[in-house]
Amino acid sequence: MNMANSNKFCTSISCMDGRIQLPIIHLLKEKFNVDYVDTITEPGVDKLFSNTNKMQEIKSKVLISVNVHGSKLIMISGHHDCAGNPVSKKEHITQIKNAISVIQSWKMPVKVNGAWINEDFELEIMEI
């Protein structure tokens, strides 16, 4: 039995911001009962799903997590006070929803969630 089969992985696509990494990992481990969180980061990642080249880069990383580690859950997040994507909360939410649609269009056998990380650096899961 190899690592990928005996442990449960999920995938986080998030900003690189150091304030959000532990909150994301803790929530995913506690709420979704996974052992490990594969983490794909770019500054202001939620806005990048309107950029075809960046989107392909992200997809190639996600595929490793899904195909090799067997991740069954992807969470795309955006956060308060984002230096890489300094837009309103409303705009972040729109971008996160768009990112969810894009990831779902990749037709992978995974559940896709979104999250907004608020001014207290707590995750608000976006039900979709």
Binding mask 77-116 for Zn ion (x = CB under 5 A): -----x-x--------------------------------
Residue 15 lies near Zn ion (rule: CB under 5 A): yes
Inter-residue contact 121 to 23 (CB < 8 Å): yes
Q: Is 17 in the site for Zn ion (CB under 5 A)?
A: yes
Q: How many CA atoms lie within 13 A of 60 on its CB side?
A: 5
Q: Which residues contact 92 (CB under 8 A, 6 or more apart)?
A: 46, 78, 79, 82, 85, 116
Residue 76 interacts with Zn ion (CB under 5 A): yes or no: no
- Least separation in angstroms between residue 72's CB and Zn ion is 26
CB of 17 to Zn ion, least distance (A): 4
Q: Which helix (H) or strand (E) holds 26?
A: helix 21-32
* Cβ distance to Zn ion smaller for residue 11 or 85: 85
Residues of this chain that interact with Zn ion (CB under 5 A) are: 15, 17, 82, 84
